[in-house]
Structure 1
Amino acid sequence: MNLNFIPVNEENLTRYLQVGIQSYEEHYLHLWENSDPTPFIDAFLTQQSVKDALKDSHQLFYIIQCNQKDVGILNLTINNEKGNFLSKNNLLLNKIYLLKNYSSLGIGTMTLDFVQNLAKNKQKDVVWLYTMKKGNPLSFYLKHGYKIIKEAFIELPKVLEKEKEMWLMSKNI
C-alpha cells in the first residue's frame, strides 16, 4: 500500500473539501439533529474556513492518498493554546477522516505514525486530540498508546445531547 500525505493549498483545496465532507458524512451523521452536519461543515469544511486556516502557519492540512487515490484528510495544529496545560510544545490532531471503504485497512495506523513522526521532527513533547466517548476511534487511540486525560464536550449547535460527550486524549512523544 502506497500512502502519501499531500499538503493542501489553494490548487487542491476542493479535493480536500470533497473527501473531507464525504468521509465526515459517512461516519458522523448520527451525531446531529436530523442527521444534518451543517454546523460542523460550515465551521470546518468550507472553502473560506480552510483558506483562512491555511494563512496560519500553525495549521497543517493534508489530503491522505492511498495508491494515488484521495481517501481521507488530516488536519493538525502546532502549539495549540488549549494544549498548554499538557505542554506549550504540542501538536493537536484535529482530524483524521477516512472514506468508509478505506477504514480498517491500516491507513489510520499509518496516519498516526506520520503524525507522531512529524511531531518528533518538529520536536514536540505531546500529541493530543479529542475523540468521541463511544465508538471505534476511542479504542483505536487507546490501542496506539493514547491516554485519556479528561472529559470534553462537542461545543457546536445541533449536536444531539447524547452524542456530545468526548475524551481529551494525549500521547507523550
Structure 2
Amino acid sequence: MSAPIAVAPVIKGENAFVRAVEALTTFFGWIAAALTVVALIVTCQMIFVRSFLGQSTIWQTEAVIYLMIAATTLGLGYVQQMRGHVNVDLIPMALGPRARRVLAYAVLLATIGVSSLIAFYSWDLWHQAFERNWKSSTVWAPPLWVPYLAMPLGFGLFLLQLVADLVKLATGTEPPFGIKEV
C-alpha cells in the first residue's frame, strides 16, 4: 500500500514562461467572468422586453449564446490553472509516486494532443468564416468570425496553460495531480 498522501496547493512557478502564461490565463479568466455577467444582463433585459413590454427580441438570444461560448472557451486556461475541471483522482491517489508521475505526463500529453486538434480546426473554422464573410442566418445576422474567434483563442490559451503545467511537472514545481507524498 502506498504512503499517506495530501493534496498540495497550487504553487506559483519561478519560471518566467509559467508566470507569463498564468498571468495571461488569469486575465482571460476575468474576461470570461465579465462575459458571463454581460450574458446575464442581456438575458434579464430580454425577459423584461418580452414579459413587461410585450415586444419581440431580435438579437438577445443569439448574443447570449455567443457570449457564453466565448466565456466558456476563453476561461478554459484559467480553469485549468485553478484545477477547476472535473477531476477523478481515485487512480492517481492509489498509485505510487513514480506511476503517478508517468500517468500525469500521459494525461497532460494526451490533453495537449486533443486540444491541439480542436485549436487547429477551430482556427480553420474561424478563418473560413472571416475569409468568406459568413453571417448568421438570423434577422440580426452578425458576422460569424467575431464569435468564432473565441474558440481558437480560448483553446490556444488552454494549450499554453497545459504546456505551463507540463513545465511545472517537469521542474518539480508542482507534484503530479497536486498530490504529494506525506
Structure with more of its chain in strand, by fraction? 1
Q: TM-score range by the shorter chain?
A: under 0.3
Structure with more of its chain in helix, by fraction? 2
Normalised TM-score (structure 2): 0.26
Normalised TM-score (structure 1): 0.27
